[in-house]
Structure 1
Amino acid sequence: MIEQNQPCNQLPKEIKPAFEELHVLKHLKDAKINKKFGYTAAYLFQLVFVLLFHQKNWFRLLESNKAESFPGKDSVYRFLNHTQFAWRQFLLSLSAATVQKVGLLTSDNRVTAFIFDDSMFDRNRSKAVELLARFRDHATGAYYKGFRMLTMGWSDSHSFIPMDFALLSSTKSQINGTTDGIDKRTHGYKRRE
């Protein structure tokens, strides 16, 4: 009898125990990130997550000879850009659980801190990106198109766990506005505001 590969069985052996230990898919479900039909949210999340470790982008993966076994790019992009998914809630709950697990492994005498970082997110080649703005880089004095990326993380001076982030735009130097037709009750609209 030949064993079939399950579509959700795509995590490498090295990453699968971490996913199970941190209950990543449970946090995904608790943040109400789910789909009604087609590929499951867990499958699409794992697929995008594994791409980072293969050092491939979605376009190169679809050009490979295994492209017919993967979902189309439109389903992945719709999954990632869905305005009703609470991605911030997912990241915060996963990070909080991870901090608790790391806290058990470290000494009580170790100093912990929240770190806030404001850095540039350069998108100079972009033209039609939503909320794209023009900023001045204070380190070099040059102007760039893109966003300011505000990141909050937890650190115990040996490890860093990201807790939340925000891509900030400017209303004064904005190049593109928000997309029309977004429901004002969704998480995506609140994030844009």
Structure 2
Amino acid sequence: PKIARSVEKFFKDYKVMELLRRCGLRKSEGIPLWSILSYIFSNVFPDRSMYMQQKYGKCTAGFSKNTYYRFMQNPHTNWLRFTILLAERIVNGHLKDLTSDQRADCFVFDDSPYSRTGYKKTELVAKVFDHVSMTYKKGFRMMTMGWTDGSSFVPIASSLLSSKNDQNVIGTTKKIDKRTIAAKRRIMAQSKGTDV
């Protein structure tokens, strides 16, 4: 309940529902978006998935797993745009006022390996080069962009990168309507990191 109240306050303070509507999230009937989103955001803190909660009879969601998965797999929601807009609101609306004008702030880019052990059914998983161990690993490269003022760090955007070379892609691929956001993300996943 305390976590849910904090999530609710965060949603109101940063007008999260307005941002999501700007990013293509629509729901005309059934369970309200507010309920699904607050459950998903609150779920991050106890570190329990919906599956594990249902398995042990501790699921507090007022909706079925089908509703949850349909929401998470909606190919029309632009989650990348959402994280960018939300980070902009947090930085400009809250953190900039706490930072001295003399302190330099900057963008940080990180390209870390994200290994995937159960990769056979994971879409676009590839053999990617890990510059730390100097070996190829099965998984993705996680390209992350963030903002920092030296004290605070706010993640702005992230993208899982596969391989541009089809011979290195070992995961499955799906045919998706090229006009959707989901298809554009798949194209981005197979682009060069510097382009992304």
Please give the TM-score of this superposition, normalised by the length of structure 1: 0.86
Alignment of 1:25-104 (within 5 A): 25-67=17-59, 70-101=62-93, 102-104=95-97
2:179 corresponding residue in structure 1: 185
2:192 corresponding residue in structure 1: none
CA contact (8 A) 2:7 2:38 kept: no
CA contact (8 A) 1:134 1:144 kept: yes
With over 3 angstroms needed to count, the CA separation of the structure-2 counterparts of 1:68 and 1:20, relative to structure 1, is: closer
Comparing 29-38 with 162-171, which one deviates more in the overlay? Answer: 29-38
CA contact (8 A) 1:137 1:144 kept: yes
> Which blocks of at least 5 consecutive residues in structure 1 are unaligned?
1-8
TM-align CA RMSD: 2.0
Pick one of 171, 176, 180 that aligns with 1:176: 171
2:129 corresponding residue in structure 1: 136
How far off its partner does 1:166 sit? 0.9
> Which blocks of at least 5 consecutive residues in structure 2 are unaligned?
188-196
With over 3 angstroms needed to count, the CA separation of the structure-2 counterparts of 1:49 and 1:131, relative to structure 1, is: same
Identity %: 33
Q: Given residue 162 of structure 2, which amino acid in structure 1 is its aligned partner?
A: S
Q: How many residue pairs are counted as aligned between the two chains?
A: 184
How far off its partner does 1:99 sit? 0.9
Comparing 81-90 with 27-36, which one deviates more in the overlay? Answer: 27-36
2:143 corresponding residue in structure 1: 150
Q: Given residue 28 of structure 2, which amino acid in structure 1 is its aligned partner?
A: K
Q: Distance in 2 between matches of 1:11 and 1:27?
A: 21
Q: State the secondary structure of the residue aligned to 2:123.
A: coil
CA contact (8 A) 1:130 1:178 kept: yes
